[in-house]
């Protein structure tokens, strides 16, 4: 799988670090106490493009290492636990094309 790095021209570059911002109840959104703005984490180019059109502050990692990706995933889980409106999206079942093992055990 090819890694696609996000890219955009920044009008203003902030010196803050994503991990220094204040967590909110929404996953991927933190609050910056310096500028009193919500900051939206973008992990895919589509998210970044959408946020650019909204004119909001964004954060994105150009080349996140494994530990950073793990930490971001953990943050998302913790934020979702705090959000009373969060409804987990989950699929369960047998994937198409899979051969159920139990049918061949008898």
Asked whether residue 39 is domain-assigned, the answer is yes
Asked whether residue 6 is domain-assigned, the answer is no
Q: How confident is the model over 8-36, as pLDDT tens digits?
A: 777 888 889 899 999 998 989 999 999 89
Asked whether residue 62 is domain-assigned, the answer is yes
Asked whether residue 65 is domain-assigned, the answer is yes
pLDDT of 49 over the 70 cut? yes
Q: What band does 6 get if pLDDT is binned at 50, 70 and 90?
A: low
**Domain encompassing residue 61:** 20-84
Asked whether residue 89 is domain-assigned, the answer is no
Asked whether residue 59 is domain-assigned, the answer is yes
Q: How many domains does the chain have?
A: 1
Strands of 29-32's sheet, edge to edge?
22-23, 29-32, 37-41, 57-59
pLDDT of 3 over the 50 cut? no
CA atoms within 13 A on the CB side of 87: 1
Q: What is the pLDDT of residue 57?
A: 92
């Amino acid at each position: 799988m090819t890694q696609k790095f996000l890219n955009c021209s920044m009008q203003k570059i902030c010196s803050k670090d994503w991990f220094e911002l204040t967590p909110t109840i929404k996953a991927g959104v933190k609050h910056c106490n310096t500028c009193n703005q919500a900051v939206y984490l973008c992990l895919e180019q589509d998210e970044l493009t959408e946020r650019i059109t909204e004119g909001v502050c964004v954060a994105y990692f150009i080349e996140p290492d494994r530990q950073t990706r793990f930490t971001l995933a953990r943050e998302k889980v913790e934020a979702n636990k705090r959000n009373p409106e969060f409804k987990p999206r989950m699929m369960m079942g047998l994937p198409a094309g899979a051969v159920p093992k139990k049918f061949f055990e008898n």
